[in-house]
């Protein structure tokens, strides 16, 4: 079995300092998707709090359901780029504020 031993210290849009061992490329993709989901959820909560919006208010402004927004903020779903764009527009920010990890 092939193992992929990867030390990722910086890769846009993520910042890591982890030693990761993967058995296949699918695991790498899943790992990166999970990390992106965490970054988006965190940034979304922070930006929503800055605007003092409730989930209901932001969902209404973005034209999505409150249930879907809750799932995004709880890291249960990966939003499409279209939904990310709608959320960023509703918050009055650019998409990169949601997808890049802020240190």
Domain segments of the chain: what residues? Answer: 4-99
Q: Which residues of the chain have pLDDT under 70?
A: 1-23, 103
Report the pLDDT value the prediction gives residue 2, as an integer from 0 to 100. 47
The CATH classification number of 4-99 equals: 1.10.260.40
pTM: 0.76
CA distance 75 to 89: 20
pLDDT in tens, 68-83: 999 999 999 999 999 9
Backbone CA torsion sign across 91, 94, 99, 100? negative
């Amino acid at each position: 079995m092939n193992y992929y031993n990867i030390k990722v210290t910086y890769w846009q849009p993520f910042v890591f300092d982890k030693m990761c061992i993967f058995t296949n490329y699918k695991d790498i993709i899943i790992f990166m998707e999970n990390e992106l989901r965490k970054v988006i959820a965190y940034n979304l909560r922070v930006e929503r709090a800055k605007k003092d919006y409730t989930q209901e208010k932001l969902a209404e402004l973005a034209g999505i359901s409150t249930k879907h927004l809750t799932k995004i903020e709880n890291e249960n779903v990966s939003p499409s780029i279209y939904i990310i764009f709608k959320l960023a527009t509703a918050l009055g920010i650019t998409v990169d504020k949601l997808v890049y990890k802020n240190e």
